[in-house]
Amino acid sequence: MAERAPPPTYDEAVNNKVPPQRPVTVVVEQGFAPFPQRMTCPSCHCPIETRVEYRPNSNTHLIALLLCFLFWPCALYPYCIDTCKDALHYCPECGTFLGTYTN
């Protein structure tokens, strides 16, 4: 049988150089709101207030369809109300998409 090398002593373990460790990057996901928010853009690193665009989602269409059957003159109201839509956040400096708020 082959003999194993004895374990290193404390002095040998301390004096041996340990390879440098890579820094750990922690990504924190930010929750968005339906209105513009102040933050630092992860792309251009500028302090910004997000630019928000509102887009209808499937809930907007379902509410409009329901209103069409119940009270048709109000069927288009969900398309005029921003809180019934998704809020898409963009950086005003570099135009990077930052995230979405969905109802």
pLDDT at 4: 76
pLDDT at 3: 73
Q: Between β-strands 97-101 and 38-40, what pairing exists: parallel, antiparallel or unpaired? A: unpaired
pLDDT under 50: residue ranges of the chain: 24-28
| Token representation of residue 35 | 């209105």
C-alpha to C-alpha distances, 81 to 32, 58, 89, 98, nearest whole angstrom = 18, 14, 17, 22
Looking at residue 95, its amino acid is G
pLDDT at 17: 58
